[in-house]
Each structure stands twice: as structure tokens, then as C-alpha cells.
Structure 1
């Protein structure tokens, strides 16, 4: 009997010791953002009024993130994040259950290493300088990849040294989980016998202080046989380069930058430059006013100018209402819609308006 009691006591002490050195937590979070939008000069004529399919002021999402303390300053981490359309309840990202992120990793004194589907460095570079963000009227209408810059089957690293952040991702094969969604290339993932097919790598360096910051990133993806046009060969590449910056005062923030895309895909090759500059003014804590101008130039082909303005009123820390107005000035051969997920008649100027509500949890 004494032997049994000693065994039980020893086991209890071991369990308590493990709990003391291995504290873990899981957090549920999300954003629900939707409303009603209107835009004129839709493709085929007429106008559109209804609930947007892609995004409002911010994309709607929900997720789970977890941390386990392994001791010695090391932690195990994971993140599962799903994008959805509030209007229908359906998944965004081409129907993927966790299309925004699905990764696991280790966080140490030397940085965080993650494995799985993850946000890549193009998105992180734009976070601070783009004051409008991935909203209904934004610079992302010029290139949908910018709003959905993710990498499948990827290894990622990020660490901040004083004010300098460095990060990189390497994907062994994109889009293995289908079907294709916005900006996805439907590449068949990790392809045996063709090391280059569907590979992608991204890298970033950034500096942030209390009043200003700057960032730069490089993002190159390769195509593969069976992928969506134009990346139908592993010899074809699609490269994005971003350089941007921002500065902040107590009630004003300004941000701007340059995005360069070089799609090398034979006859379908494309080269463009996209410039943006925006301001955020917060006259009182519960009101934010944003404005941004975006200039898209495809030399010798077309150009377009996007204007966006937004007012957000915070009813609480978690809930806000907003109005957003966008105006797109397309060149003669331009066909960029003012609204994310919208349509436009070629060469038309287009007005878009949205009234919406956002809740964070």
C-alpha cells in the first residue's frame, strides 16, 4: 500500500512539474465585415447594388492561434485562419477551409520558424504603408495577388532585431490545395521530377520606429505544367518587388510606396508599376478618416488612377460603422474595376460606394 501511495505521489509531482514548465493557450479570434455596395458602369452596362463577395473595410475571417511554453524561452506555435463571405457563409480563397493560414512552428530567441500555408513577405511589407489596406476600394483591385499573397507547402522565418525585421518564405509548391481562388495560379504543388515547378520564395527587410518606418520585399513564383495561364511552364516566372514607407504624428499618418511586377511568360509577359500615397487623420479617438490615390502604369498599354476615401466611426473597441467611396479613372484600354470583385466596361470611369459595419472578436 505504501509503495502504491509513493507511486501516486511521484506521478502527481511529475504531472505538476510538466504543467509548470509547459503552459499552453488557444485563442479564438475573427472579423465580420460586410454591408451594401453600389457601382456604376458594370460590364455589359448598367450598375450593381448588393452585398460584396470579397471584402468590406477588411476581409472577414476567423481563426485559432495557439502557444505552448516549452521552457528556456522557446515556444511551440500554430495558426489556423479561414476567410469567408458573410453574405453567403461560404469560404473565400477558392473554397479552402483554412485558406488564409494553416501552419505550425517554433518561436525562439533567434526567431520564429513556421511550416505550412502562410502569409508571405509581400503582405507584411504592405501592412504599415498602405493606409486603406485590403478593402473594397483599394490598390489591390489592380493586382489581386497583393491581397492574397500566401504560400502553400512553405517554410517561413521572421525575427525582429531592435527596430529591424527580417523575414523570408520558401514554398516547395503553391496551390496544392484547390480549387483556385483569387490570385491563385492552380499550380499542381510539389511536382516529382521537376524541382522548379510551382516554387516560390519571398524575402523582406523592414525598419520601424515610433514615428516612421520603411520596408522592401522581393517575391518570385514559378509556373508549372497544368497551371492556369499564363504560368503554364516552370520556365515562366512572376515577380513582385515592393518598396514603401510611412511616418506618424499624434493624429496623422502618411504612407506610400512603389510596387513593380514583372511577369515573364512568353507572349503573355506583363510589366507594370503601381504607385500609392495615402493619409489617415484621426481628429478624435472614435473617428478615422482615410484617403489614398493609386496610379497604375503599364507602359505602352494602359494606365489607370484609383481614388479612395473612407470614414470609420468606432462604436466601441470591437464594433465600427463606415462609409467608403472609390473612383476609378481608366485609360482607353484600361479595365480595372473600382470595387474588389466587381466588373467594369473597358475604358470607363467608375464610381463605387459602400456602407458597412465591422465587428472584431
Structure 2
């Protein structure tokens, strides 16, 4: 009996070892916290000091895994959660895997994924936005806040696509991705439906392009967004430029038709363990004019210091000039927009990846 038990234990151990040899699961994540000061958060001129989560990147944790299926094929999955490092709370209505929950297969043909995942339109411009879509002071907010206000479970402001099928592949220096997200609204087949495509060329220079269309969940109108960007390396310096145009039909956002164009230009300078950035962004809604013109101009200065491959100290400063009709749709600053005023936001923090 003792020998029998030993043989069973050895067989179980061999099975576990074989499974581990064929599959790989990784726990990963990031915590980003720091101090942030905003000199003006309302018309009364009040300021705000806070312990800020996600100064340059969101605090996340996740699981990802792959399994070798043979013949050059592999299966993969991604589960990714978003949380507030300062309070420990989940971000996004308490949903555990708000960012990613997908499964797919990849091989020489490319990669096919099913489930909640990043929009290909967003990923295309990571190398051309002057601040790389950082969590603060980048094109991330105009990109998101100008897309349809469909429920978070559907398209999450165009950043993450739920109920989606995607295809991605690389052809030498050219990377392409396309996705289709089912709206899954009873009685309204098109409501919340999203089509997204993005691509980039990375050679002596970088060029990026994207297009995304989201059907309004109310069944009236939609949002169309396209973007074009470029980056040119010059030794320790890299110059970047990105333009996004978003048009929303009446009734989709604040009730009125919008036509927002936002462009940004900037320069990264690498010296030692430091990366210093100077960037300028300007956004305007062409459907507004006169005293109600929605236009914002913002200058950003920042420096990232790599303490190690995983840990970064950062300092950043944004100065925004708001027109009388400015809204969050033309601003790159997360937080209250004080129309007709000038606003300065300073941040100092640390980011650690694991």
C-alpha cells in the first residue's frame, strides 16, 4: 500500500511538471503613487494637494499565460485589473478585470483574441504621442473623452473594447491591428458596436495611423475618430507629433454635435538615466465659437529618472490656458477644467513595475 501511494504521488508530480513545462503563467503589475498640486480646481480659485494615483501610469495587476500547442501555434490569455494605489479600491465600478479579460491563439499567421482588450486605434499611437499616452498630461484624455458615452461595459471610452474579436500581426517594420466589438444590446443590434483599426511603421522614422467608429447606445448617431502621427529620432533626441480628429453626432456626448481636433508636438531628450520631455498640446471644438469657444492650450515639462529597470522617479509640470468655453474634451489634464482661467498642475512621484 505504501509503495502504491508513492507511485501515485510520483505520477501526480510528473503530471504537474509536464504541465508546467508546456505552459507559462506570469503575475505582473505596477504601482504608481506621488504628490500632485493643482493651483486652481474651481471658479473660486481653490487649490488642491493630494496623494495621486497614476501620475504617469495606471496602478494595475494581472495574470498572463501562454501554452505551446505545437506546429508553431500557442494559446494565450490576459486578465488585467485596475486599482487605486492610494486607497486600494478597484477602478471601474468594482469590476475585477476592467482592463483585459481575453483568450486567443497566435502563430505565423498573427494573433486572434476574443474578449475585453485594448483598442488597436489606441495602441497604434503609443510611439508617436509626445508623452506616450501617459496617465497624466497626454493625448489619452482627448482620445477617451471625445468618444461616445456608451456604458463602460461596452467600449470604455474607446480605450478597452468589450465583447471584441481582434486580429494583429507584424510584417517586418509594419504592425497592424483590427477589432470588432459586438454591442450586444437587445433590440438594437448596432448600439454600442465598435470597429477599430490601427497601424504603425517603425523604421528610420515612426509613422502611426488609426480609425475608430462607435455606435451610440441610445441608437442615435455615432462617433468617428481618426489619427495620424510621426516620430523622428535624432541621436539622444526624439521628436514626436500626433493629431486626432473626433466627430460625434448630436445627442451622443453633451447633446450637441462636436468636432474636436487635438494636436500635440514634443521632444524627448535622453541623458544618462534621465528622459526629459517638452510637449505642447492644443485642442479645439470647431462646432463652438465666440464667447463659448472650446479651446485649450497646454505646455508640459517632465523628467523621468530610472532608478532601475523597474523603478522610476518622475517630476512633471503642466500649464493650461483655457478659453471661456473650454471643456474636458479639449484638455489633456485629468480633473476639473476651469473655463476662462489658467491652471498649473505639478506632480512628483514614483512608479514600480513587478
> Which of the five TM-score ranges fits, normalised by the shorter chain?
0.7 to 0.9
Answer whether contact 1:81 1:101 (CA < 8 A) is retained. Answer: yes
Shift of 1:250: 3.3
Answer whether contact 2:66 2:77 (CA < 8 A) is retained. Answer: yes
Residue of structure 2 in register with 1:279 after alignment: 267
- Tell me the alpha carbon deviations over residues 327-356 of structure 1, each in whole angstroms, 9 at most, x when there is no partner: 111112214497744213221110000110
Separation of aligned partners in 2, 1:110 and 1:141: 34
Q: Does 1:296 align with 2:289?
A: no
- The alpha-carbon distance between structure 1 residues 23 and 250, as it changes in their structure 2 partners (threshold 3 A), is farther
Stretches of structure 1 that go unaligned for 5 or more consecutive residues are 1-7, 174-189, 225-232
Residue of structure 2 in register with 1:240 after alignment: 225
Match of 2:188 among 184, 194, 210: 194
Residue of structure 2 in register with 1:270 after alignment: 258
Could you tell me the TM-score, scaled by structure 2's length? Answer: 0.85
Residue of structure 1 in register with 2:31 after alignment: 32
Answer whether contact 1:335 1:344 (CA < 8 A) is retained. Answer: yes
Partner SS, residue 240 of structure 2: strand
Shift of 1:164: 1.4
Match of 2:235 among 250, 255, 278: 250
Partner SS, residue 334 of structure 1: coil
Q: Does 1:317 align with 2:309?
A: yes
Separation of aligned partners in 1, 2:212 and 2:307: 39
- The alpha-carbon distance between structure 1 residues 218 and 149, as it changes in their structure 2 partners (threshold 3 A), is same
Superposition pairs of residues 86-101 of structure 1, within 5 angstroms:
86-101=85-100
Answer whether contact 2:130 2:264 (CA < 8 A) is retained. Answer: no
Shift of 1:36: 0.7
Partner SS, residue 121 of structure 2: helix
Superposition pairs of residues 175-254 of structure 1, within 5 angstroms:
190-209=184-203, 211-224=204-217, 233-254=218-239
Partner SS, residue 95 of structure 1: coil
Shift of 1:194: 2.1
Stretches of structure 2 that go unaligned for 5 or more consecutive residues are 1-6, 147-156
- Tell me the alpha carbon deviations over residues 155-208 of structure 1, each in whole angstroms, 9 at most, x when there is no partner: 0110001111121111012xxxxxxxxxxxxxxxx1233211111110112211
Separation of aligned partners in 1, 2:50 and 2:209: 37
Separation of aligned partners in 2, 1:148 and 1:120: 7
Separation of aligned partners in 1, 2:160 and 2:250: 21
- Tell me the alpha carbon deviations over residues 11-42 of structure 1, each in whole angstroms, 9 at most, x when there is no partner: x8xx88x9499711011111111101001121
Shift of 1:44: 4.3
Match of 2:325 among 324, 329, 333: 333
Residue of structure 1 in register with 2:350 after alignment: 357
Answer whether contact 2:326 2:337 (CA < 8 A) is retained. Answer: no
Partner SS, residue 276 of structure 1: strand
- The alpha-carbon distance between structure 1 residues 83 and 33, as it changes in their structure 2 partners (threshold 3 A), is same
Partner SS, residue 88 of structure 2: coil
Separation of aligned partners in 2, 1:304 and 1:58: 23
Answer whether contact 1:81 1:98 (CA < 8 A) is retained. Answer: yes
Answer whether contact 1:338 1:351 (CA < 8 A) is retained. Answer: no
Question: Deviating runs (4+, > 6 A) in structure 1?
Answer: none
| Superposition CA RMSD, Å | 2.5
Residue of structure 1 in register with 2:4 after alignment: none
Shift of 1:145: 4.2
Separation of aligned partners in 1, 2:205 and 2:94: 38
- Tell me the alpha carbon deviations over residues 42-90 of structure 1, each in whole angstroms, 9 at most, x when there is no partner: 124210001225x211111111110000000000000011111111111
Residue of structure 2 in register with 1:51 after alignment: 51
